[in-house]
Structure 1
Amino acid sequence: MTSVSPDARRIWRGVRLPLAVVFLIVLTGTLLVLARGEQTTGALEPGSYEPGGGRALATLLEREGVKIPVVRTAAAAKGVARDATVLITQPAYVPKETFAEIRRSAQHVVLVRPSPGTLDEVLPGVRATGQLETKTRAPDCQAVDPVAAGGATMGGVKYAATQPRAQECYGGSYLEVPGPQGTVTVLGTPEPLTNERLADEGNAALAMRLLGKHERLVWYLPTPGDPSLEAEKKPLSELIPAGWSYAALQAGIAVVLLALWRSRRLGPVVSEPIPVVVRAAEATEGRARLYRKAKAAAHAGETLREAARARLRPLLGLTRDAEPAALVQTVAARTGRAPAEVGALLYGDPPADDAALVRLADGLDVVEREVERS
């Protein structure tokens, strides 16, 4: 007889091609990862090659001799900010005290799309006034860097300043605020600094003039996990406006009153008339007829015996789990009957017919009366 089960050679021939394809894919992916090296991702990350990253700008600045220390915490930023340009990509995650110290020590600070709340804390004279479409815009101002760069991809948040020397360019999406502690530039959009838009219009010229003025550019990437933010975190209760607290209290009182109004109250017991009254004797007779119709004399006899045993145990002071032998001996001692006779009556063979069932019922009834009289 020839076996039709596949052997090892047949299995290998069937799977070697798929295995070779899988191995080739894994090997190619591994080589590509090793060739590209370690990469970072994220918006304006100086090591990111993504469209929103800043790898192209960082490379151009380094070729011009600008040193770019990358920092991610407030403590690190304060340590290297002196006499440098500081680019802050997420101003909302910079503590107020940290920004003040950076502004005192740095020559130039660039904020990318700061929120109105952040401006109120770090630049009280500057406010956000609206939104602009991001597109190529002319400088329309007298600031040196925008005029030299020309048209650039600007838009996003629009800013305005109360300082008389402040320069609003590109429709207000570029704001230059000079001061005794250095210049602060606010950008309404990060687009001209990204890999995707750096080569468009005058974006590269604007970015190079804005961030390459000094020997060092501190590329500050704040994160929510900065330990310096722990002291400024507020509990949830402080973030809820007072009006909401009063509204919640009133709503709670209303819910309690509604529950009390709609809750069920206990009243008098309601008696319902029974539709059919069945007397106990009739129920017994009906059950007996069913046993008779089914010719279940044996089952009926066992039911009678079990009921009799259940009534005899408490009369004799025995527990419900008393052994049959103990019940038989106690009944025999109380009635003067022979144990064999009592055992046959309480635990004997089932009755074979209706006549035997009647005799069994009579015998059980007599024994119970004898125990009660004893």
Structure 2
Amino acid sequence: MTATTPGRARQAAWVTSLVVLVLVTAALPVLLMGGQAGGRSLDPADTSLNGSAALARLLQAHGVQVVRVETPSAAVSAAGPFTLLLVTEASLLDRGAAGRLAVAFGDRLVVGSVPYLDVLASGVRRQGPVRARSRAPECTLNEAVRAGAAYTGGTSFTGPPGSTGCYPAGDGRSLVRYTADGHTVTVLGDASFMTNLRLAEDGNAALALNLAGSRPKLVWLAEPGDPDEAGGSGDGTDGQARSLGDLVPGGVKWAVLQLAVAVALAALWRGRRLGPVVAERLPVVVRAAETVEGRGRLYRSRRARDRAALALRAAAADRLAPRLGLPRTATPEEVAVAAATRTGRAPEPLLALLCGPSPGDDTALVALAAHLDTLERQVRDS
């Protein structure tokens, strides 16, 4: 392997930074959007972070009938003496529709930047935009006092004489309530506390439940559209069964695509960085002595004297066989008998030398190697 140069190190660092940037870019939209894409804002049937399905379920658990409607006419038809009409900034209104809602039965809860506030909440005046944050109620309204601090703001208001204001913000209040013509009208400047994203923070759930659950029946005017796309039916209950693909948020698909691009860039970077394993031209020549020494050190480290003795005897027999006129396939016994005939020695010592037991220690192994060398020299000189 070639050594890493400073130029390659800088290039690798630059590519690493690029991959990290791509990964952060891929994850940032998912983190900001909470893994959810689309959805209907403040819809009681929507389960995205901007929806309000959690509040609808909470109201139903406390015995409040939640009726989701999409048009002002349907809201007026569903309203009654013991109902509460909820109008949010997601409700699409014109001045005529606002006028019809203003004379409908029941109380009204107006949340967020709703248009035609002079019609829906006559006497309430906007003072200006304020930052939405956690605020203390600082009033005597039971619904706000029981909830405590909540995420409010958005717009501050001043109410007509006799009204009650909570959650100070700027020159006014974030919540104003008053009673006129037999209707109790409540106005809030920000609707974030009712969403799935913020319902569990501070006293948001308690405030939303206290305000929206003040009557046995809640008529929720939502954004028009197909309720199945928002995650439920028109009355706030679950619709028909959906497939697994329908349950996967749209943002996940984009996240997977961006992650695939990041993985492809990382694979391209690593593939170009590795290069050839061996820079020298192959085949690489290795000296025979190095191989022998390496094998010998291996045998010694494992105390494999039996394998070393077998290798020495086999090599000596292979070298002796041609000199004795024997084929390469001759057995060590045949080589020992032929060597004894050639040198005039007794065959028993030579049989023990070429076919005997393994040496018991390193000294015996060295002695065996020396006797084999002597036998080869005697056969060569005879």
TM superposition score category, shorter chain reference: 0.3 to 0.5
Q: Which has the higher contact order (CA 8 A, sep 6+)?
A: 2
Decide which structure has the larger Cα Rg and report it: 1
The two structures have a TM-score, normalised by structure 2, of 0.45
